[in-house]
Amino acid sequence: MAITSANQLELLQTAEAVAREKMIDPDLVVQAMEESLARAAKSRYGSEMDIRVSIDRKTGRATFTRVRTVVADEEVENYQAQLTVAQAKQYLDNPQIGDTIVDEVPPVEMGRIAAQSAKQVILQKVREAERDRQYEEFKDRAGTIINGVVKREEYGNVIVDIGRGEGILRRNEKIGRESYRPNDRVRCYIKDVRRETRGPQVFLSRTAPEFMAELFKMEVPEIYDGIIEIKAVARDPGSRAKIAVISYDNSIDPVGACVGMRGSRVQAVVNELQGEKIDIIPWNEDQATFLVNALQPAEVTKVVIDEEAGKIDVVVPDEQLSLAIGRRGQNVRLASQLTGLDIDIMTEAEESQRRQAEFEERTRLFMDTLDLDEFFAQLLVSEGFTNLEEVAYVDLDELLVIEGVDESTASELQARARDHLEEQNRKALEHARELGVEDSLIEFEGLTPQMIEALAEDGVKTLEDFATCADWELAGGWTTVDGERVKDEGLLEKFDVSLEEAQNLVMTARVMLGWVDPTELEGEDEDGEEEAGA
């Protein structure tokens, strides 16, 4: 193939045809041609030369040039592409380092191998441009639904034609045992778009909770318009799902709007999801109310929330237990995903049993420590007293409301409670000293003798040791491991030390030791207040 032939315009026509077919910029194809021609010229004139090719965008004429750069004497590495200042003087009047000398060279005839090489370069460039175009097109469509046509199945993964590209629907993103044949139409959620070495990968999903949310947005105009908002979705793909909705217009019922006339709207979503049963639940700011709604169709008698642990105890009637738990725990699992809380379900009988056990335990505590008879100890527990500290330091009037307790009896009760607590503190401190606790920790304000004893038993014996502790090590907490919430026991958790209190204690110790500048902490507090205000 000779570039000097009369058919120079063919280059441009070919470039335009390829660009139109692949939907990319024609200029990118011309650049690829220029690069391939330059490579062919180098094989003819020598690979050391810096040969460049420029194709006229109007006439298609290809101009071959040899470029040489002026460099310092000691930097000359390639005599074919570089010149010293002295050598350049025969071409330029006043050569400077960095100047270039451009000479036109005769066009080359492209042999079979050179033509093949040129073809490979052009194909590679076109492929890269196509990938870039596909990535740019789909990157902003992540989080939306797309219709596609099944092309083929590979090892359980479905390759879907999505118009100007291909998407992959992985085996674990299909609903249940869905199977597809070539040319089947399929609707998917674009979960992610990533640029990879083999080109952009568009990952599709039919099991993502967001897929259901997007389907409802398509079916329910109020959701699309923002009058109704989907606050949470939990799915067991192909089987059951729960979706929490809220209406910002008092005249519109969010559940009714999502169900539609005779269930038409929700039925359209159910059909798309292979018959997945959907519970539509009104969302509520109050956690307890929301949870009661989320456990539908089961009835809930009582809800006890432990906000710090992110845990909830739910009491249901005995006959409702299996309904609340659901088949293989499905109902409670979906309610837990929807609310983001750990839920323990118990029957009224089990809750009554637990309360009875707590009542007996507290009664025994007061009988043993305050030398009371069973009836009197039960009176204390019935009035809401749970530990010795409450009895010892409560206002005297709160003890006088107990039937049969006069002022002298109340004072005696408090004296006994205080004596017992002081004895406990003395023993705890004694044991802590035996374990080697230093005075720096004993004298630290905010820690009781029992706390110091618990720290010492875990090897925390100095103020320095205490200052290196993390707040969660002291207060305890919850972490998620492999999708399950796991409890971290805190050293001071049994003393009801909150995460915030633990943080304050540790920071105070660090300030006392000079590890932290207190002025920096004040600045952080102010920033936090400003952010909270904003």
| CA 262 – CA 169 distance, rounded (Å) | 33
For residue range 20-75, list pLDDT tens digits in order.
766 667 777 777 777 777 777 777 777 777 778 777 777 767 778 878 888 887 77
**506 pLDDT more than 80:** yes
Q: Residue 260 in contact with residue 278, Cβ under 8 Å?
A: no
Residue ranges covered by each domain of the chain: 5-132, 145-207, 436-524
| Residue-level pLDDT at 308 | 60
| Overall average pLDDT of the 478-487 stretch | 64
Q: Residue 147 in contact with residue 187, Cβ under 8 Å?
A: yes
For residues 380 and 213, which has the higher predicted lDDT (pLDDT)?
Answer: 213
For residues 404 and 409, which has the higher predicted lDDT (pLDDT)?
Answer: 409
- Structure tokens belonging to residue 221: 């105009």
For residues 386 and 523, which has the higher predicted lDDT (pLDDT)?
Answer: 386
Q: State the SS3 of 255-281.
A: HHHHHCHHHHHHHHHHHHCCCCEEEEE
For residues 126 and 521, which has the higher predicted lDDT (pLDDT)?
Answer: 126
For residue range 287-342, list pLDDT tens digits in order.
888 888 888 888 888 887 766 656 778 888 888 888 888 888 888 888 888 888 77
Per-residue pLDDT band for 534 (boundaries 50, 70, 90) equals: very low
Domains 5-132 and 145-207 share a fold: no
Query: What number does CATH give the domain 145-207?
Result: 2.40.50.140
**Helix, strand, coil tally for the chain in percent (to 5):** 50, 20, 30
For residues 486 and 514, which has the higher predicted lDDT (pLDDT)?
Answer: 514
Averaged pLDDT score across all residues of the chain: 79
Of the candidates 67, 65, 57, 48, the residue with the CA atom closest to the CA atom of residue 12 = 57
| Residue-level pLDDT at 2 | 40
Cβ-based neighbours of 252, under 8 Å, separated by 6 or more: 222, 227, 228
How many alpha carbons fall within 13 Å on the CB side of residue 115? 7
CATH 3.30.1480.10 fits 5-132, yes or no: yes
Say what the pTM is.
0.56
Residue 172: Cβ-neighbour burial (10 angstroms; 0-12, 13-18, 19+)? exposed
| Residue-level pLDDT at 485 | 62
For residue range 414-446, list pLDDT tens digits in order.
888 888 888 888 888 888 888 898 888 888 888
| CA 384 – CA 381 distance, rounded (Å) | 5
| Residue-level pLDDT at 244 | 92
